[in-house]
Amino acid sequence: MSVQAPERPTTADYFPTEEEYVGLLGRRTRRATWFKLFCLGMLTIAVLALATLLYTIVNDSFGLVAVVNQNEPEDIVAGLGHDPETTTLGDLDYDELVGLLEANVSSGVGRRLEREQRFYEDRLVFEDEATWTEICSSDAPPTGCTAGPRDGANVLALVQERVVVPDVIASYELVPSMLDPEAFEAEVMAGFEAGRFPEYTADQAQFEWRAWFSPTFLMSPASATPEIAGIRTAILGSLWLVVITVLFAVPVGVGAAIYLVEFARPSRFNSFIQTNINNLAGVPSIIYGMLGLAILVRVLEPFTSGAIFTSGPAPSDNGRTILSAGITLGLLTLPVVIISAQEALKAVPDSLRQAGMALGATRWQTVRSQIIPVAMPGILTGTILAIARAVGETAPLILVGAASFITLDPTGPFSKFTALPIQIFQWTSFPQEEFRNLAAAASLALLILLLTLNAAAIVFRNRFSRRAE
Amino acid sequence: MTDTRDTNTHFHQELEELERKVLSMVDRAEQMVEMAVQAVTSDDTDLAARVIELDNAIDQTYMEVHQDWTALMARNQPLGSDLRKMTIFIQLNVLFERMGDQCVNIAKIAQFNKGLPRVQRICEQIREMGDLVRPMIRTAIEAYVRGDVDEARLLPAMDQPVDRLNANMYKETVAVGANPQLLEWATKMLMVSRALERIGDQAVDFGEQTAYLITGERAEFDEDGMAWSTDGNDES
Amino acid sequence: MNNETYTEEATLDTGAPRPEVAAGPKPAGAPATSPNHVMETRNMSIYYGDFRAVADVSLGFARNEISALIGPSGCGKSTVLRSLNRMNDLIASARTEGEVHYHGTNIYADGIDPVRVRRTIGMVFQKPNPFPKTIYDNIAWGAKINGYRGSKANIDDLVQEALEGAALWDEVKDKLQESGYSLSGGQQQRLCIARAIATKPDVILMDEPCSALDPIATLRIEELMLELKRDYSIVIVTHNMQQAARVSDKTAFFNVKLNETGMRTGRLVEYSPTEQLFTSPNEKDTEDYITGRFG
């Protein structure tokens, strides 16, 4: 069998010549470089957008303010006999603070405050005993009857709000505050000239540096006065929600995923279920809110208000409790948890299952000892996603009844509640400038909370995957 | 031709090449028998020299086959009929080289007997033995090439007259008489007879190897009746 | 001079490469119950849905012997192996017809729990698959989930026994608490063997156990197999004919053919003592396969 010389062009002839190839190569390389630059450009846009967001939030959370106090804290402290140089309002003891309130607040307001939450366990400050017993044994007793007494921070905030009565009349952003503080003062003075602040005079205004995002901010309850408002209730509400969401979504979701991956035989019914789970992951969150409202708040009211757990008065008078909201968010995140747990389980190589079964183990023994530990990191990733959504969702919470304004800390699953996103949403809808600062500070807090929760979950996940190796 | 579905063509081609070399040796040996018998009975020393020359080629091929066989064995792991072929090739290699050596013995005797008086009867018998042995070699080759066990089984019967003639040659030698030259010549011819008898046996061995290749069973051909048993291994 | 009658023992016609008598299909293997057989398949066919992967296999595996299953890809040898410990049950569409007998009991009969079957008939897989646990736990787990009652000291002994049985003890005795993945490929496979023998099975099935290993590791496992057959009966699937020739006592050759409907179904062609199968097989198909004349 001899090879004859080809008489017509063979396939090899269609390749480019050496020069052609070099020319083509140059063009191909340039195109590749353009493509790489394009992708880099897209990345830059994304990073810039995120940086701008972060910048805006931080910018509004700190800065110079012009504030006018109705009663200067120094005067108040001095009036009580302390040295204003060394003592601040926060150093006063509880009784002194309550005394200040007694002296400066109207009895009507004082009674209202006391009904909301008492000052002392054993005695009443504004109410008299008879009225108190009467209202407490009525059909709708106020929260003060059952709630514990206030604490120092709570009363200090009240003193700030009602006695000092600070009023921020103007605020300035962080970057300009650092670069050009005089401009702010000039602006405020010009404002006084122009008559923007009719209630005060120019000499009453003090310029101080204010960190809207501060430890006080984190610890103070909500308030109608922006100067002393804080996000403590909102943070506690969000944390409660996270706990309930995770406690609901993770066992249910992971259990469902384990069944679907390990035990279910392929059938039309199971494909049907799988399709629906995938679709539910994309349903708008407000639909879940409506579901939560209709089922959890209304139909299941005895359960979500805690009525069926106690024989006495229900912990909550309606179903708009943390429990309802938590379960609603749990339902919202359930499809995501199921899907990511499924992916994690499917990613476990089948050889491990075969090895386990071949030793004479039952399916459950194999899954429990071999498959789940390996899939744990992926399952926890799903949990992280659930947490993130629980912290950030707003619309369903509004429907299920997050209170926009609540000053009492949540004490249990049957409490009324608010959450960080709700608080931010509410503050941004107020016109005053200070609320903008508050909203920015609360957003910063939300971001930090989210990052902390994620970091904790990631550390937990890494510890798991290291153990599994 | 190789089967177009063969996935082991390279090895099988090399195996065929090896086979060709091995068969070339026995082919040449058959020629050498004719020439050697002619040389020793016609006192033709030129022919005898040719025979010795031809043996060089056999010896050369013997070395090549040995080397090729070892290489083939190391590089491939033959199984089944390929394995059986390899097994018999190494034995046939030795067998055919010895056939060549026997022919050389005859040729050397022809040279040694140059000029000595010959006895007609003895020459005729030697020629007859040659005429019996050459078809045996041919039959053995045919049996191998055609894969015909039955043909191989004919060989023991064909060997019997050769054995008889060889047994008879002693009497003829003794009957030559006391003439020292004749005696010398005749004793040398006795050795020729022995060589031819050996070549006959070697042809029978060839047949036994062929039978093993085809049937996969090791056997010796029975001396009488061509029955064969499965004990013992080949002797040459 | 020709065609004389002669006595012959079994005349075995072989497929020599020259024009030969076409060998007719012969019943392969011995379907009769033999008391020396630890396992037997009887007319077993395996289906995946409607597709018949393996048809009508009847094989007997003798006690304390190594039996090898060889054949081209797709001939169903792995499928047959997996049917011996009901691992095919894990595939939803798989269905087995016919019987597989273990010590006289059909393991596919109603009421037989496959979990029980797998305890006495263990398996080692093609790619070493130790658990992501310590070496110690890899071996102890199988015993524990089967209800091992011993104390910690008993389990220690069990682990040592198993590792010694797998010729791995000396290499890992000082690092039992390290992960199974810290071992080399060959060591991992021996760990898997140790894991399999820790539950004291009767039969060990090996599905191409050396195909992912280097030649030295392969040889060590082959040596190990020859030692293991003193205590266990072994069935091994291999695509390496020389390995089957080295270790097995009997070899079964499977082939795959297109049938009328276009399906490729595997069948048992020949089941003979190894030495005979590799020097003078009975069937032409076997001869073609082992000499590489296969298409």
Domain A232-468 falls in which CATH fold? MetI-like fold (1.10.3720)
Give residue B4's pLDDT.
56
| DSSP SS3 for B94 | helix
Give residue A145's pLDDT.
80
Judged by CB atoms closer than 8 Å, whether chains meet at A360 and C142 is answered as: yes
Q: What pLDDT, in 10s, does the model give residues B104-118? A: 999 999 999 888 888
What span, in angstroms and rounded, lies between the C-alpha atoms of C276 and C290? Answer: 12
Instruction: Judge whether C73 is closer than 8 Å to chain B, CB to CB.
Output: no
How far away is chain A from the Cα of C122, in angstroms, using its nearest Cα? 6
CATH 3.40.50.300 applies to domain C37-290: yes
Which residues are CB-neighbours of C29 under 8 A, at least 6 positions away? C58, C59, C60, C252, C268, C271
Q: What pLDDT, in 10s, does the model give residues A343-362? A: 999 999 999 999 999 999 99
Of the candidates C7, C19, C278, the beta carbon closest to that of B79 is on C278
How far away is chain C from the Cα of A267, in angstroms, using its nearest Cα? 10
Lowest mean pLDDT among A106-115, A153-162, C144-153: A153-162
Judged by CB atoms closer than 8 Å, whether chains meet at A353 and C90 is answered as: yes
Q: What pLDDT, in 10s, does the model give residues A181-234? A: 888 888 888 888 888 777 777 777 778 888 888 887 888 778 777 877 888 888
Give residue B230's pLDDT.
53
What span, in angstroms and rounded, lies between the C-alpha atoms of A68 and A90? Answer: 19
Judged by CB atoms closer than 8 Å, whether chains meet at C278 and B80 is answered as: yes
Give residue B55's pLDDT.
95
DSSP labels for B108-126? HHHHHTTT----HHHHHHH
Contact A199, A165 (CB under 8 A): no
- Contact between chain C and chain A (3 or more Cβ pairs less than 8 Å apart): yes
Instruction: Judge whether B224 is closer than 8 Å to chain C, CB to CB.
Output: no
Report how far apart, in Å, the C-alpha atoms of C176 and of each of A371, C135, C171, C183 are: 22, 5, 10, 11
Lowest mean pLDDT among A220-224, A448-452, B2-6: B2-6
Instruction: Judge whether B217 is closer than 8 Å to chain C, CB to CB.
Output: yes
Domain ranges of chain B: 10-228
How far away is chain B from the Cα of C174, in angstroms, using its nearest Cα? 41
The better pLDDT of the pair A102, A356 is held by A356
Instruction: Judge whether C262 is closer than 8 Å to chain B, CB to CB.
Output: no
Judged by CB atoms closer than 8 Å, whether chains meet at B3 and C245 is answered as: no
How far away is chain A from the Cα of C149, in angstroms, using its nearest Cα? 16
Domain ranges of chain C: 37-290
Element (H, E) at A351: helix A350-358
Give residue A206's pLDDT.
79
| DSSP SS3 for A404 | coil
Judged by CB atoms closer than 8 Å, whether chains meet at B81 and C15 is answered as: yes
Q: What is the 3-state secondary structure (H, E, C) of B129-175?
A: HHHHHHHHHHHHHHHHHHCCHHHHCCHHHHHHHHHHHHHHHHHHHHH
- Tell me the CATH number for domain B10-228: 1.20.58.220
The better pLDDT of the pair A405, A323 is held by A323
* Chain B residues 148-207 with a CB less than 8 Å from chain C: 150, 153-154, 157
Give residue A66's pLDDT.
85
0.90 surpassed by pTM = no
Give residue C18's pLDDT.
35
What span, in angstroms and rounded, lies between the C-alpha atoms of C254 and C235? Answer: 14
Judged by CB atoms closer than 8 Å, whether chains meet at C291 and B150 is answered as: no
Q: Is pLDDT at B204 greater than 90 in this prediction? A: yes
Task: Give the torsion sign (CA, A16, A18, A19, A25).
Answer: positive
- For residue C274, the number of C-alpha atoms closer than 13 Å in the C-beta half-sphere is 17
**pLDDT truncated to tens, each residue of chain C (295 aa)?**
344 333 333 333 333 333 333 333 334 444 445 678 999 999 999 999 989 999 999 999 999 999 999 999 889 999 999 999 999 999 989 999 999 999 889 999 999 999 999 999 999 999 999 999 999 999 999 999 998 888 899 999 999 999 999 999 999 999 999 999 999 999 999 999 999 999 999 999 999 999 999 999 999 999 999 999 999 999 999 999 999 999 999 999 999 988 778 888 999 999 999 999 999 999 999 999 999 887 5
Interface probe, candidates A263, A359, A367, A374, chain C, greatest C C-beta count within 10 A: A359
Chains that touch A (3 or more CB pairs under 8 A): C
What span, in angstroms and rounded, lies between the C-alpha atoms of B159 and B182? Answer: 29
Q: How many CB pairs under 8 A join A and C?
A: 71
Give residue B225's pLDDT.
41
Bridge partners (DSSP) of residue C271 are: C252
Judged by CB atoms closer than 8 Å, whether chains meet at C6 and B5 is answered as: no
Instruction: Judge whether C293 is closer than 8 Å to chain B, CB to CB.
Output: yes
How far away is chain A from the Cα of C195, in angstroms, using its nearest Cα? 8
Judged by CB atoms closer than 8 Å, whether chains meet at B6 and C241 is answered as: no
Closest-CA residue of B relative to C245 is: B79
Confidence of residue A259 (pLDDT cuts 50, 70, 90): very high
Cβ-based contacts of C12 with chain B (< 8 Å): 215-217
Report how far apart, in Å, the C-alpha atoms of A247 and of each of A290, A368, A454 are: 21, 20, 16
Interface probe, candidates C83, C145, C207, chain A, greatest A C-beta count within 10 A: C145
Residue C103: which of C40, C44, C58 has the closest Cα? C40
Judged by CB atoms closer than 8 Å, whether chains meet at B5 and C3 is answered as: no
Which residues are CB-neighbours of A150 under 8 A, at least 6 positions away? A117, A118, A119, A158
Closest-CA residue of C relative to A365 is: C145
What span, in angstroms and rounded, lies between the C-alpha atoms of B12 and B130? Answer: 36
Task: Give the mean pLDDT of chain A.
Answer: 85
Domain ranges of chain A: 15-61, 63-219, 232-468
Residue C232: which of C26, C38, C90, C77 has the closest Cα? C38
Instruction: Judge whether C11 is closer than 8 Å to chain B, CB to CB.
Output: yes
Its ipTM equals 0.82
How far away is chain A from the Cα of C123, in angstroms, using its nearest Cα? 6
